[in-house]
Amino acid sequence: MLIAALFVLLFLFPAPPAQDRGEPYQVLVLHSHRSSLPANTDWYNGIVRGFALAPDLRIEIDVEATDLMRVDDADYVAQLHRSYGLKYRDYMPDLVIATYMAAFTFLLKFCGCFFR
């Protein structure tokens, strides 16, 4: 289900082909857990290895750790939404990869703070 939803997002928000771009693709990894969780490092390393299979693809990867698995209070979620809306208003990622359901649900609900 999660993989299928990620592919849907890729097709809803396609980026131009690499040969048409002068700058690298901007990728955002949105973690569900706090930043110190070792699984986040595993996710990141796997994503980097996956992109390395396409050496002509230039990418820059940013990471956000939402900590939504531990803190899912409505005020906290609203603050995250406001914060990401400000942070990414002039910098829209070409691709957002959500790890685990909490970040994926946040992305589906508030994708406007990452995509126009």
Domain assignment of residue 61, yes or no: yes
Q: What is the pLDDT of residue 101?
A: 94
Instruction: Tell me the β-bridge partners of 60.
Output: 26
Domain assignment of residue 12, yes or no: no
Domain assignment of residue 8, yes or no: no
Domain assignment of residue 15, yes or no: no
Cβ-based neighbours of 32, under 8 Å, separated by 6 or more: 66, 67, 68, 69, 98, 99, 100, 101, 102, 103, 104
Domain assignment of residue 97, yes or no: yes
Q: How many domains does the chain have?
A: 1
- The model scores a pTM over 0.85: no
Domain assignment of residue 58, yes or no: yes
Q: What is the pLDDT of residue 58?
A: 93
Alpha-carbon gap, residue 29 to 95, rounded angstroms: 8
Domain assignment of residue 6, yes or no: no
Domain assignment of residue 2, yes or no: no
Q: What is the pLDDT of residue 22?
A: 80
Q: What is the pLDDT of residue 111?
A: 83
Q: What is the pLDDT of residue 49?
A: 95
Alpha-carbon gap, residue 82 to 21, rounded angstroms: 29
Per-residue pLDDT for the chain (116 aa), expressed as one digit of tens each?
555 555 445 555 555 554 566 889 999 999 999 988 899 999 999 999 999 999 899 999 999 999 999 998 999 999 999 999 999 988 889 999 999 999 999 999 988 777 65
Q: What is the pLDDT of residue 35?
A: 87
Q: Which residue range is the domain that position 43 belongs to?
A: 25-113
DSSP H/E element including 31: strand 25-31
